[in-house]
């Protein structure tokens, strides 16, 4: 099992819809979870972090964490074509605060 798993996509959603991106991780001891957005040819950009079970909202983005199921998701409400990018889930291993392990990323395409 990979340490951080994501569906590679592409996930195609119409403009205005909710995009749901999922990530599972293998280390039960992980305490911090991050979502990065990477546009083609650009560097990853941190968009959300979550540390506790439940939901965390920031504008159109909501991160959801379920540690019992080792599952973290990112919801993007009112998706816009400008949200089209690859979304990377990143998790540090237990005690490995100085190292983030990235999933392979999910490519999101928002079409008008």
Region of 18-26, 37-45, 56-64, 65-73 interacting with another protein (CB under 8 A): 37-45
Q: Which of 11, 17, 75, 101 binds another protein (CB under 8 A)?
A: 101
Q: Which position among 11, 75, 104, 109 is part of the footprint of another protein (CB under 8 A)?
A: 104
Q: Does 102 bind another protein (CB under 8 A)?
A: yes
For residue 24, state whether it binds another protein (rule: CB under 8 A).
no
Judge whether 48 and 57 are in contact, CB under 8 Å. no
Q: Figure out which of the listed residues 44, 62, 63, 72 binds another protein, where binding follows CB under 8 A.
A: 44
Does 84 participate in binding another protein (rule CB under 8 A)?
A: no
- Our CB check for another protein shows the closer of 44 and 73 to be 44
Which of these segments, 10-18, 53-61, 69-77, 92-100, binds another protein (CB under 8 A)?
92-100
What pairing do the DSSP bridges indicate for beta strands 71-76 and 61-66?
A: antiparallel
Contacts of 38 (CB under 8 A, 6+ apart): 44, 45, 85, 86, 87, 88, 105
Taking the alpha carbons at both ends of the chain, their separation in whole angstroms is: 36
Nearer to another protein, 23 or 105 (CB): 105
Residue burial 91-100, b: 16+ Cβ < 10 Å; e: rest = bbbeeeeeeb
């Amino acid at each position: 099992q990979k340490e951080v798993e994501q569906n590679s996509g592409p996930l195609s959603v119409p403009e205005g819809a909710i995009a749901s991106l999922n990530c599972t991780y293998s280390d039960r001891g992980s305490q911090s979870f991050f979502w990065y957005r990477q546009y083609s040819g650009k560097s990853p950009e941190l968009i959300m972090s979550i540390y506790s079970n439940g939901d965390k909202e920031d504008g159109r983005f909501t991160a959801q964490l379920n540690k019992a199921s080792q599952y973290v998701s990112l919801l993007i409400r009112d998706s816009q074509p400008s949200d089209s990018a690859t979304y990377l889930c990143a998790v540090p291993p237990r005690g490995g605060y100085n190292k983030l392990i990235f999933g392979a990323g999910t490519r999101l395409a928002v079409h008008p």
